[in-house]
Structure 1
Amino acid sequence: MTAVLDTLGAKRVLILASNPATSTVTGWPVGFWWSELTHPYWEFTQAGYQVEIVSPDGGPLTADGWSDPRDPSRYSAEDLLSLGFATSPEHAALLADTPSVDGVDVAGYDALLVIGGQGPMFTFVRDARVHALIAAFHEAGKVTAVLCHGTAALLHTRLPDGSLLVAGKTWTGFADAEEDYVDAYVGQRVQPFRIETEARALTGTNFVVAGPVRPHAVRDGLLVTGQQQYSGTAVARLVIEALGR
């Protein structure tokens, strides 16, 4: 007996991940966070979706060290999904030479997922290409999801009329209490600014957080947001709920 997986008409999701960078605060190399890529990727592919991964500049991607299950810190040692992805030649190849966002045809996708890690705090926050891609998906009526420190981009993403995309919306992102935890764990300040602090300074938007390091995702219309790296599965499931199978 044989089985054929029919992908004709499958939903297509574009995942945007940060290019490698260097933190201006710590001096560390920074990039994307493994679980924020792999956990949604698993949910989407299990739902029969096709997934493509891009980055602003294109080229090879590098993950934050602590997010790697193989890292000597063992901070993410129990993340078996990321371990499987990272050690699978077929999947690791998806990160070896990513396409850039230049020329992305929004019409060819059903949803966008912007993932976090430490990199976006330096690479997404002021990148007009990232903001334009997020706004284009939202304006095209596509489900637009943003996760963890990737939500730094939403502080500055504006629609064609000049309004912030998050105006009038309820959304979430990395919490100040979680930044306190990270700073204490590391023994120094890690990020150049805090998303929650900046978001609460905006007028006409409703930024909410749940308990620290607990899965928390919010859907408001086409916008889906996740609080931190533990929220990737919840975000993906809200996207799937919105799109259907």
Structure 2
Amino acid sequence: MNELNVIRRQPTHNLPKKKILCLVSNPAQLHGMEVGFFAEEMTRPFFDFINAGYDVDVASPDGGRVIFDGHSNPENPKGAYPNDLISIGFVHHATFGKWMEDTIPIAAINVADYDAICVAGGGAPLITFKDNVKLHQLIADFYEAGKITCLICHGTSLLLWTKLSDGTLLADGKTWTGFADSEEEMINQMFGMTVNDYTIETEARKNPDTNFEVAGPLEPFAIRDGRLITAQQQHSSFLASQLVIEALSD
């Protein structure tokens, strides 16, 4: 037998017990369409966290009903992700699927109960997150309490507004990523219109005190800068959850 061709792997299963808060947007109206959060950007990290043995809750700013974006809904005949088996499994799970109708409101969240927060993107966050001062405060509270703070795709828009207790932006002095302008242009071409009134990359680059980076359009890319973890888009969701698990295992 040629040992040079033998590859052995033995992953670590004895991870420390942790509790994670997955946060998604409540539904919103965008150009006459109801939009929500990008399915995979919550369900893939959720799946990875459950497999790591973590306890996971799902919250939204207002609590109650949340929805997948139609584009990301694997059960939408016109959607682009029919093979997203994790999201299909989530909504049809006897327990987890019910959470889509009854998420926890952020007013009921005790930061001390959790080790990390993971925020999904999608069509609604640019609308619902921008002026939600209580949500900005929650993110700041997680970060300043020493918790791992993970933001994915349009969820990273929170770094445009979240201020710490000293009045500085959480993004100041940080290296991070988010949905790229090149990807926004792909969406605009798909719908034949300018979909969003502003973009994360354009706004982030107005801040001279932060370092915003992106990979090529739709390429998996994520960054960990201390307790802050950011991921560029849905194809980066698995990288985000890996970084969270690594950070919580340090």
Same fold (TM over 0.5): yes
Instruction: Name the TM tier (shorter chain).
Output: over 0.9
Contact persistence 1:216–1:231 (CA under 8 A): yes
SS in structure 2 opposite 1:154? Answer: helix
For the pair 1:217 / 2:226, whether they are aligned, the reply is: no
Where does residue 36 of structure 2 map in the other structure? Answer: 31
Where does residue 42 of structure 1 map in the other structure? Answer: 47
Amino acid at match of 1:112: I
Inter-partner Cα distance in structure 1 for 2:175 and 2:32: 34
For the pair 1:95 / 2:100, whether they are aligned, the reply is: yes
TM superposition score normalised by structure 1: 0.93
5 Å-filtered alignment, 1:158-177, equals 158-177=163-182
Inter-partner Cα distance in structure 1 for 2:63 and 2:240: 24
Where does residue 6 of structure 1 map in the other structure? Answer: none
Structure 1 residue ranges, 4+ long, deviating more than 4 angstroms after superposition: none
Where does residue 200 of structure 2 map in the other structure? Answer: 195
SS in structure 2 opposite 1:67? Answer: coil
Inter-partner Cα distance in structure 2 for 1:87 and 1:242: 30
Inter-partner Cα distance in structure 1 for 2:154 and 2:53: 27
For the pair 1:69 / 2:74, whether they are aligned, the reply is: yes
Inter-partner Cα distance in structure 2 for 1:16 and 1:216: 20
SS in structure 1 opposite 2:143? Answer: helix
SS in structure 2 opposite 1:163? Answer: coil
- The alignment-based identity, stated in percent, is 48
Amino acid at match of 2:237: G
Inter-partner Cα distance in structure 2 for 1:236 and 1:145: 8
For the pair 1:109 / 2:109, whether they are aligned, the reply is: no
Q: 1:13 aligns with which of 3, 11, 20?
A: 20
Contact persistence 2:70–2:79 (CA under 8 A): no
Contact persistence 2:59–2:104 (CA under 8 A): yes
> CA offsets per residue over residues 4-31 of structure 1, 9 Å max, x none?
xxxxx720000111001111xx221111
Q: 2:236 aligns with which of 195, 207, 231?
A: 231
**What is the root-mean-square deviation in Å for CA atoms of aligned residues?**
1.4
Inter-partner Cα distance in structure 2 for 1:60 and 1:172: 29
Structure number, greater radius of gyration = 2
SS in structure 2 opposite 1:224? Answer: strand
SS in structure 1 opposite 2:58? Answer: strand
Which one is further off, 46-55 or 80-89?
80-89
- Deviation of 1:198 (Å): 0.3
> CA offsets per residue over residues 175-219 of structure 1, 9 Å max, x none?
000001111112111112111000001121000000111111100
Report the count of equivalent residues. 236
Which one is further off, 73-82 or 148-157?
73-82
Any unmatched runs of 5+ in structure 2? 1-15
Inter-partner Cα distance in structure 2 for 1:29 and 1:152: 20
> CA offsets per residue over residues 106-159 of structure 1, 9 Å max, x none?
111000111111110101122111110110010001100011001111100000
Contact persistence 1:126–1:153 (CA under 8 A): no
Inter-partner Cα distance in structure 1 for 2:79 and 2:197: 25
Any unmatched runs of 5+ in structure 1? 1-8
- Deviation of 1:160 (Å): 0.6
Q: 2:129 aligns with which of 118, 124, 129?
A: 124
TM superposition score normalised by structure 2: 0.91
Amino acid at match of 1:10: K
